[in-house]
Structure 1
């Protein structure tokens, strides 16, 4: 031969070669067909098993024999690849409905490998035979095998919607598929509904028939969003969580894991748990053992006394494969092209495929019946003209001559003439003649029935519907995987890892914060006083409002718990607050949103503005947010209020205004307020709180003078008034004011840092506009700069 060399760019050659390789992997190995849900290797294993006679009601044969049959006739690849595929089809923890019935060691959920193929035995399961049913009756196309010496099915007839029922996974070139298994009965219910209502909505299918995947290992799916996304778009992510229960054993409690997520190795899972215990990440576990047997999984996690089982379980969900994510990618071959499909597309493709298979099978039966009917018509003609038949046969010198004479004399076809020549004499008996007539009548009915199926879409649908119902009746079982609809439970948050218990938090004048379970254990350090205390849950949110309009956020459980005589930690340990900012209010926000309905945070600024916003506006995951819009202003105080109770506002020059909360509107978080008090030019607000008729207003001047006035003596006014005079001498300037009961104590702080306390009962009581009395005469105070009510604990 003459040598011919063609120049070609290496990039073009590589591109062409890689494209051919990619197509080979995509079509020939890695992706399942949307019709029968099988990859080529699985299809060839099942077909070869049928050819070997390995049916479910016959004895098993050596796996090596089946592997050899597949390799030699249909699948020219490695024997380990074929055997591994066969093994997975036999594993009850991998396949929702096993297609291979294996004898011997076929591996375990602990990751143990199967025994060598020479030691194990195999045959088809009954449900696998439903995939192969009628395959020899022209239901599907056959193609040449790898060397053209044999024929193999392009696809199996598959009465089972196997793509969804058993799922599939595989990695091709540049794409992958991950289809979860489903419950057979639920898939068939969805198919029947879609058959009856072709325009059915996906939401209806999910709600009434096919709620989600159903894994062979059971466990639970947490949340619906991932399922809906996958069924709608072909892609999604679901959260799988192990099932467990709590058993008491003496004074201890044990966590019992009974089902684990799909494709999780049980032995490695136990190693993960043990590793966490050894590292101290989970301290509540005292013992761990695997008591699993043939009845099912049983992992025993023995807990220490007083350990919280749910808290421990949440930590296990967070840090081990007791909770995993399963990514769904509904990618399969449709007409030899890889396509990502939604649930409705997959269901419709299967229905269309089965309709075509039923048509092919019906046409096969029709042809067979018509041929037989034609033969019977010839036999009837021969019996009716028996004398002519006998005469022709006697006078013929050969079979060929007899056949041709019969065709001429009786006006019949070649096939009919041949059947007459082959007819046994016993068929001439009267009873045999009656059987022929009965068979002709039966065939006539069958032919009519087959033609009705082929020409009537409704009849075709009825056949398919009955077939689906029969499959469900034969193979349906109970759902194994529970679906927990609440998507909020899918993610294990930090709160889920914290034990919920009562929490009391206090803040001292010098910025020391302490967390405890009870009020009685709160105390301040020497030369310090508690000025704020709140109570809630360890899962609640703690808000610190600053005078610059910022609100800082901490989870209560982030504050270290102190007991006994411990006084707590400096707030700077938890919050980085600028030097020029001061915390003016401590509040606790319930963990449950909207629990505190009709509750608000009310703000008053130095310039005399008042604003109210809904509490839930301050629920945030950020370390701090803007609490209020300030325009060259600062905050005086923040209080939790409702929308109608009276508010009191006190100014530095000694004016108090009391007005109702319903005189101004609730606004958003980042807004300015409304005018609370009409201030003179050199005045500003120093205090605000909620009106309580049983409290006193305690006013302290900068030079240590004070008075107390029953709050009930101040009448309610319209908002934005000048207010009522607290004391008579206009020269006094207030350092601060507080509302307090007669037995309370007041902290006063001087500019030089010295602090001390006075008892409310020791302060002279006056009426509005009365005198101020010296209460710190004996103390060597400089100018007073702060006044706070002291929180006392019995």
Structure 2
């Protein structure tokens, strides 16, 4: 054996393959669970959604500005925060702009964003987007040190670890995801109802699920339709798991030509085109009798699927068969798993099955922390401003002497030092005086300084 082979032998580390597979797979699965597939209970977002919204805010792509190309947003998010495929970013962006997927859209899209028939959206170079009003409110006060900012993938920029959202987004817009060994599926809810539930929880933290259900009776899906029975809803709210039965909104219309069933709302997650094709297939195969024709008459007025019933058939019987055999009656399996922060260290997250009260409780705790941090930030800024104003007011009250000191000094630094010594000021105040413009010496501006100082004192008292 030559020398090289001996060195190679020394470099080889013998590892038990079973242990290696175990530890590597646990690392991989934890990464998928925490950093990809499950939403955070506090803001209801997975990292990709958070990064898209934050990237759009950074681009100034807000609801009051013109639309920007989706490709530009996707490129920005990929380059700064999300080092994955562009399909993953564009797919998430499009979904946030589809009203049949989101209860309240977070992205305002322009162009072909797909359809409820399952049509795919146009390529990102054709479509345009900007933040919706709701999307903006999710980031209110993000610049006031309300949430922890963490390094991005290459440590060159900061991104929020969680959004300071004032909207209980996990319940309002729901979410779904498949991780390793677990999945989540959370239904959407009505914003007003969830806010009422949050207020009830704040007023009485001991409120039970039954009490919360008087404010949040059931999920509220963006495609409408009916929820059939509340047993599944109650089970989902109490345990985090349950099966909600959804039924299309269908009416029987009659005229001289006979009866027809008109459907104008379908269950959440049902593909309209596939539904119509499946009904036609059942009729063709003879499994569904009494139907002469199926038409899609959806237009600007809204959804409208028309099923013509044969003259010798009973429309109610046909409708019940449709509910039994097609997706006009579907179920939504609730599995409310989200990432929950550790009490002592909020950067440590773990997945947890949550009931309705826990979802609201974690959101309220988050808002409580955001409000305290925002107030501390505002208070600090107010104190800093008041400190400068105090110095300016001293200067205005002794203006002749101040002008004399500044004129007698050779450099701005010397002027600052002389002012500090004479009026017992610090460096920040003396700099503000030296930088003061002549227009601030007019009577009106001096009055404004006093008024601003008094206003600030009131604000500091309020914040404290």
Residue 211 in 1 paired to residue 217 in 2? yes
Q: In structure 1, the residue corresponding to 2:236 is in which secondary structure?
A: helix
What's the C-alpha RMSD, in Å, of the aligned pairs? 1.4
Q: In structure 2, the residue corresponding to 1:391 is in which secondary structure?
A: helix
Q: In structure 2, the residue corresponding to 1:244 is in which secondary structure?
A: strand
Residue 44 in 1 paired to residue 57 in 2? no
Shift of the alpha carbon at 1:369? Answer: 0.5
How many angstroms apart in 2 are the aligned matches of 1:187 and 1:234?
16
Q: 1:412 and 1:5, CA in 2 relative to 1: closer, same or farther beyond 3 A?
A: farther
Shift of the alpha carbon at 1:229? Answer: 0.8
Structure 2 counterparts to residues 680-699 of structure 1, below 5 A: none
1:268 alignment partner in structure 2: 274
Shift of the alpha carbon at 1:245? Answer: 0.4
Structure 1, unaligned stretches of length 5 or more?
A: 452-794
How many angstroms apart in 2 are the aligned matches of 1:399 and 1:241?
77
Q: In structure 2, the residue corresponding to 1:194 is in which secondary structure?
A: helix
2:462 alignment partner in structure 1: 449
How many angstroms apart in 2 are the aligned matches of 1:33 and 1:316?
38
Structure 2 counterparts to residues 666-677 of structure 1, below 5 A: none
How many angstroms apart in 2 are the aligned matches of 1:402 and 1:34?
55
1:291 alignment partner in structure 2: 297
1:566 alignment partner in structure 2: none
Aligned length: 450
Q: In structure 2, the residue corresponding to 1:246 is in which secondary structure?
A: strand
1:60 alignment partner in structure 2: 67
Deviations 1:169-189 (A, max 9, x none): 000000000000000000001
How many angstroms apart in 1 are the aligned matches of 2:322 and 2:415?
88
Residue 25 in 1 paired to residue 32 in 2? yes
Q: In structure 1, the residue corresponding to 2:76 is in which secondary structure?
A: helix
2:117 alignment partner in structure 1: 110
Q: In structure 2, the residue corresponding to 1:90 is in which secondary structure?
A: coil
2:18 alignment partner in structure 1: 11
2:247 to 241, 246, 259: 241
1:404 alignment partner in structure 2: 417
How many angstroms apart in 1 are the aligned matches of 2:463 and 2:350?
33
Deviations 1:628-666 (A, max 9, x none): xxxxxxxxxxxxxxxxxxxxxxxxxxxxxxxxxxxxxxx
Q: In structure 1, the residue corresponding to 2:177 is in which secondary structure?
A: strand
How many angstroms apart in 2 are the aligned matches of 1:214 and 1:437?
53
1:79 to 86, 94, 97: 86
Structure 2 counterparts to residues 406-425 of structure 1, below 5 A: 406-425=419-438
Structure 2, unaligned stretches of length 5 or more?
A: 1-6, 342-348
Further displaced range: 74-83 or 397-406: 397-406
2:338 to 309, 317, 332: 332
1:312 alignment partner in structure 2: 318
1:145 alignment partner in structure 2: 152
- Bigger radius of gyration, 1 or 2? 1
Normalising by structure 1, we get a TM-score of 0.56
Q: In structure 1, the residue corresponding to 2:162 is in which secondary structure?
A: coil
How many angstroms apart in 1 are the aligned matches of 2:119 and 2:206?
47
Q: Whose RCO is larger (CA < 8 A, sep 6+)? A: 2
Which structure: greater strand fraction? Answer: 1
Residue 156 in 1 paired to residue 163 in 2? yes
2:209 to 189, 202, 205: 202
Further displaced range: 175-184 or 357-366: 357-366
How many angstroms apart in 1 are the aligned matches of 2:257 and 2:249?
23
Residue 302 in 1 paired to residue 315 in 2? no
Shift of the alpha carbon at 1:279? Answer: 1.6
Normalising by structure 2, we get a TM-score of 0.95
Deviations 1:459-516 (A, max 9, x none): xxxxxxxxxxxxxxxxxxxxxxxxxxxxxxxxxxxxxxxxxxxxxxxxxxxxxxxxxx
1:352 alignment partner in structure 2: 365
Structure 2 counterparts to residues 437-476 of structure 1, below 5 A: 437-451=450-464
Shift of the alpha carbon at 1:385? Answer: 2.7
Residue 393 in 1 paired to residue 406 in 2? yes
How many angstroms apart in 2 are the aligned matches of 1:267 and 1:249?
26
Q: In structure 2, the residue corresponding to 1:127 is in which secondary structure?
A: helix
Structure 2 counterparts to residues 527-538 of structure 1, below 5 A: none
Q: In structure 2, the residue corresponding to 1:137 is in which secondary structure?
A: coil
Which structure: greater helix fraction? Answer: 2
Q: In structure 2, the residue corresponding to 1:132 is in which secondary structure?
A: coil
Q: In structure 1, the residue corresponding to 2:138 is in which secondary structure?
A: helix
Deviations 1:685-733 (A, max 9, x none): xxxxxxxxxxxxxxxxxxxxxxxxxxxxxxxxxxxxxxxxxxxxxxxxx
Q: In structure 2, the residue corresponding to 1:255 is in which secondary structure?
A: strand
Shift of the alpha carbon at 1:131? Answer: 0.3
How many angstroms apart in 2 are the aligned matches of 1:62 and 1:178?
31
Structure 2 counterparts to residues 723-762 of structure 1, below 5 A: none
Shift of the alpha carbon at 1:5? Answer: 4.3
